[in-house]
A = this chain, B = another copy of it.
Amino acid sequence: MPADRPPTRIQKKNRAAILEAALNVFSAQGFRGATVDQIASEAGLSKPNLLYYFPSKEAMHNALLERLLDTWLDPLRELDADGEPLEELLGYVQRKLQMSRDYPRESRLFANEIVQGAPRIHAALSNELKALVDEKVSVLQDWMDQGRIAPVHPYHLIFSIWSLTQHYADFDVQVRAVLGEEDPFATAPGFMETLYRRLLTP
């Protein structure tokens, strides 16, 4: 563990390689299923060397989760209260869907954590996450009150967007087993657009 002066070139490179490898392994095996040795070999480093950069396996996991929550909520943050309601929501849906396509490992890391009761990020859910959702829900509520989108339970509306979009990353195996050759991400955007347009058009 080097002193807390600015990180060297080597530190940056190795820390990044470790997190990249850890993301692969944790997202595929879950926290307990992952072993430090696996991560080390995936990162091309020795196990003691990993533990030189991160004090423990849990620290790697935490570093990933911390970085993740922010990225994960970005699409929702972009929802603009001053935009055209339906287009804003459809935009949010498509951004979220793209994240499932482009960052499936992150989605699964998150899913693993939540399914098992979110032991490590429970606080963040009740604080940051809840605060952001509450804020955006009040925007949705205003739009509904003004008759600019159809009235529906705003929290369930957001849950539905989360679950529908993340399903394609988290349950990827199942989706592909059922669909066969067809690429889910070719047809999903159209389906989503239809669904939310019909649901929300006043």
A residues sitting closer than 8 Å to B (CB atoms) are: 28-33, 108, 111-112, 114-118, 122, 125-126, 129-130, 133, 150, 152-153, 155-160, 162-164, 166-168, 170-171, 173-175, 177-180, 182, 184, 187-188, 190-191, 194-195, 198-199
30 A-B residue pairs with CB within 8 Å = A28-B116, A29-B116, A30-B32, A30-B33, A30-B115, A32-B32, A33-B33, A111-B111, A111-B115, A111-B170, A112-B112, A112-B116, A114-B170, A114-B174, A115-B171, A117-B173, A118-B177, A126-B177, A130-B180, A150-B198, A153-B191, A155-B179, A155-B187, A156-B187, A159-B171, A159-B178, A160-B167, A163-B171, A164-B164, A195-B199
Copies of this chain assembled into the complex = 2
Specify which chain B residues have a CB less than 8 angstroms from the CB of A195 in the assembled complex. Answer: 152, 160, 195, 199
